Copies of this chain bind each other. A is one copy, B any other.
Amino acid sequence: MSRAHPSLASLAFLVGTWRGRGNGRYPTIEPFEYVEEAVFTPGPGKPFIAYRQRTRRAGAGEPLHSESGYIRPGGTDGTELVIAQPTGIVEVHTGEIDGDQVHFRSTEVRTSSTAVDVSRVERYIRVVGDTMRYRLWMAAVGQPLQVHLEAELTRV
């Protein structure tokens, strides 16, 4: 009942619980370092991977960001990603899978009336053995698309 859907094989490299550290930067904020836990869980019984993560400030430990969503096979580029964030932001992506890496590019970023204005996001994830590295690019508050987050996580 909890087995992954067969069509998820090409995304299986993501599945697991991952912990590690990352850093963030953007022209409008102070650079910061964070610790993260990300969880990718198949199904159950349906063709998707549920995704959720939380970060805390490195050292001090206060909660920083969290988000949750779903990755599913399909689309012209092999996979799709939808995400909701408590900051009032939702993202829809198409993704290209290449072995144990996937590059998501947003097709839609929408925000609630009181959220920060984000217009475009890209997310690149690469897994080598038990190490996941990701990079996130963001265009927001009038700034062009640029690297906002980089992290390295370990499968636990």
A interface list, Cβ under 8 A from B: 1, 43-46, 48, 50, 52, 61-63, 66, 68-70, 72, 74-76, 80, 82-86, 88-94, 107-108, 110-115
Which chain B positions have C-beta within 8 A of A114?
74-75, 80
Which chain B positions have C-beta within 8 A of A70?
68, 84-86, 88
A106, B25: Cα distance in complex, Å:
32
Which residue among A69, A70, A83, A111 has the maximum number of chain B CB atoms within 10 Å of its CB?
A70
For the complex formed by this chain, how many copies does it contain in all?
Answer: 2
Binding site secondary structure of chain A: strand
| Nearest opposing residue in chain B for A2, CB measure | B63
A74, B66: Cα distance in complex, Å:
18
A76, B94: Cα distance in complex, Å:
32
Given known pairs A46-B63, A110-B108, A112-B92, the reply for A85 and B86 (CB within 8 Å) is no
Of B48, B66, B113, the residue contacting A80 (CB under 8 A) is B113
Which chain B positions have C-beta within 8 A of A48?
86
Contact at A63–B45, with CB atoms within 8 Å?
yes
A45, B46: Cα distance in complex, Å:
33
A80, B116: Cα distance in complex, Å:
14
Measured CB to CB, the closest approach of chain B to A146, in angstroms, equals 24
| Nearest opposing residue in chain B for A62, CB measure | B45
